[in-house]
Amino acid sequence: MAPLIALEFASGNGDEERDNTPLSRTGEKTKPGKFWVYEQIIRIPYYGIYEINNSKLEVYTHRNGYYQKMSPNERNHYPILPLGIELGLWQGRYQNQDQLWLRWWDNEGNLLLIGDERAEQEKQRAEQAEQERKNAIPRLLGMGLSVEQVAEALNLSIEQVQQQI
């Protein structure tokens, strides 16, 4: 079973990845090109070539037995329709390097976060929720609730509530 998408990271100008040399049918032995193999033998529905040195991305889709070069959408992303995602380039910092990176977005244009980004986002959410709970303590006490009632309402210990008074 063929994968849905193949992504090639070309360290050169992408000629090797775009090589459309067919399999030799004569006695002459010729190595078939990657492009031809993916298009004619494996028939991978989507084929992406990312030229690292010049930050160029091309994506092809397999239609009627051949690859057709896709045009990016208004966000400059390439929709991978069966997955409901888009592929594109993102400028940012990752692994202490600020550069263009190949990244995924959902079909509404929201960047899909990697593990470190999700962890940082969750940490920020937790800190914000904690701050909101602490900010609620004086308001609830001002409304006449007891320390015990505030602790129960905010799922805090009595000591945590008393520290904020």
Instruction: Please write the tens of the pLDDT for every residue from 33-51.
Output: 999 999 999 999 999 999 9
pLDDT at 93: 86
**Are the C-beta atoms of 123 and 142 separated by less than 8 Å?**
no
Contact indicator for 80, 99 with CB cutoff of 8 Å: no
Radius of gyration of the chain (CA): 27
Q: Is the per-residue pLDDT at 31 higher than 90? A: no
The pLDDT value given to residue 117: 79
Cite the beta strand spans of 29-96 per DSSP E.
46-51, 56-63, 66-69, 78-80, 85-94
Q: What is the pLDDT of residues 107-131, one digit of tens each?
A: 999 999 887 878 888 889 888 988 8
- What's the whole-number average pLDDT of the chain? 91
Mean pLDDT for the stretch of residues 144-149: 90
Identify the pLDDT of residue 42.
Answer: 95
For the chain, what are the domain ranges? 5-80, 117-163
This prediction has a pTM of 0.73
Fold classification of 117-163 (topology level): Arc Repressor Mutant, subunit A (1.10.10)
Which tokens go with 34?
């990657």
Q: Provide the β-strand partners of residue 74.
A: none
Q: How far apart (Å, rounded) are the C-alpha atoms in residues 21 and 30?
A: 8
